[in-house]
Amino acid sequence: MHQVFAVIMAGGVGARFWPASRTRRPKQLLDITDSGETMIAATVARLPADLPPERVLVITSEAIRDAVIAELPRVPPQNIIAEPAGRNTAPCIGLAAMHVRRTHPEAVMAVMPADHLIADVPAFRTAFDTGVRAAAAGRLVTFGIRPTSPETGFGYIELNDESEEGVCDVRRFVEKPSREVAQQYLESGNFVWNSGMFFFTAQAILTEMQARLPALYEGLETIAASLGTPAESAALRQHFPRLPAISIDYGIMEGATGIQCIPVDFGWSDMGSFEAAWELSPKDAQGNARADDHIVVDAEDCLVRVPKDKMVALIGVENLVIVDTEDALLICRKDRSQDVRLAVDALKQRGRNDLC
């Protein structure tokens, strides 16, 4: 196989899983679906078996770098890089590309978020190989998720007909659609969800960045000059927070030509809310995702996430999200899961950052 670096984007601070998630314990460090491992550990574990841990780069934040190191004991700590500030995905990927280019300019970077769920790991690995092959030829490649519903929360990618085995040319990227348009996309069969997972060589993405986002590229070059020297940390702190905050989709992908997409169907979820977590969690016969020893009397379709030694009794309730922690308890109607961020907003307004 071509030389590959996995680049795990782990800078997210998602507030939609409060109170389970906190600033210092964001979603990627949780096991919301009760799978037995955190999302970031699962993300690394599902990488191809022959990818050595030394080829895993993780871009995260200073706040959680130590926790990420603890979660990924096989990945060398120097591969776990803390951004001094979150600047969206283009600077994140650009920084990773500078690291990779320094030693392996032609290596393929397989870029993926640390907080997505993929049920079918063999299918993922097959698609991964396809992605590496296409990227090794110099193309920018993205995974497109075959849609299963008219989602309005994702961007879509319109595909041309399949150009070679498993790979399509991209016709265009489209923004989050209305429900009606999403329904049309779903029925047309040639639209996929933009997954946020990419394959390209370090050289290819940096060439695009230089052309399309020159200010970003220049800033990254300044940082790159110090990589591997004693000045690296100071340079990162000085320059990274001033890089333009822009997404790789908006800054590069939506405008670039010759993008390729691999339509995939491997049980993907971006786990955007507790409702998604409920859908993907093991459940009892009444649809409750909960611990075996919890007491359930006429309760249905609830998600219960509490510390292991806590007894829970549900009586006569349905469609609730119940999340308990040492210092905070959430009770939310399941279809209002997106509004959990309102609780975090309220806490911040009150200056209760200790609970965020």
Footprint on this chain of its own copies (rule: CB under 8 A):
18-19, 293, 295, 297-298, 302, 306, 309-317, 320, 322, 324, 327-333, 335-336, 339-340, 342-343, 346-347, 350, 352, 355
C-beta of 139: minimal distance to its own copies in Å? 44
Q: Give the three-state DSSP class for 126.
A: helix
Of 40 and 321, which CB lies nearer to its own copies in the complex structure?
321
Of 32 and 95, which CB lies nearer to its own copies in the complex structure?
32
Cβ–Cβ < 8 Å for 224, 202: no
Tokens (6 digits) for 120: 């079918």
Compute CA distances 173 → 1, 7, 170, 198, whole Å: 30, 23, 8, 14
Cβ–Cβ < 8 Å for 27, 341: no
C-beta of 221: minimal distance to its own copies in Å? 45
Of 122 and 351, which CB lies nearer to its own copies in the complex structure?
351
Neighbours of 270 (CB within 10 A): 17
C-beta of 343: minimal distance to its own copies in Å? 4
Of 2 and 310, which CB lies nearer to its own copies in the complex structure?
310
Alpha carbons 207 and 211: distance in angstroms, whole number: 6
Sort residue 125 into left (φ over 0), alpha (ψ -120 to 50) or beta.
alpha
Nearest alpha-carbon partner for 115 in 280, 331, 237, 325? 280
C-beta of 312: minimal distance to its own copies in Å? 5
Of 50 and 292, which CB lies nearer to its own copies in the complex structure?
292
C-beta of 176: minimal distance to its own copies in Å? 23
Of 161 and 327, which CB lies nearer to its own copies in the complex structure?
327
Tokens (6 digits) for 348: 């911040």
Give, as one character, the DSSP assignment of residue 289.
Answer: B
C-beta of 313: minimal distance to its own copies in Å? 4
Q: Given the DSSP bridges, would you call strands 303-305 and 320-324 parallel, antiparallel or unpaired?
A: parallel
Of 13 and 317, which CB lies nearer to its own copies in the complex structure?
317
C-beta of 317: minimal distance to its own copies in Å? 5
Of 17 and 124, which CB lies nearer to its own copies in the complex structure?
17
Nearest alpha-carbon partner for 330 in 22, 88, 64? 22
Q: Which residues pair with 108 in a beta bridge?
A: 4, 201
HSE (side-chain half, CA atoms, 13 Å) at 136:
11
Of 165 and 292, which CB lies nearer to its own copies in the complex structure?
292
* Cis peptide bond N-terminal to 19, omega within 30: yes
Find the angle CA(226)-CA(82)-CA(198) to the nearest 5 degrees.
95
DSSP for 30-42, written as a single string: --TT--SS-HHHH
Find the angle CA(72)-CA(76)-CA(80) to the nearest 5 degrees.
70
C-beta of 177: minimal distance to its own copies in Å? 26
C-beta of 16: minimal distance to its own copies in Å? 11
C-beta of 46: minimal distance to its own copies in Å? 33
Of 101 and 334, which CB lies nearer to its own copies in the complex structure?
334
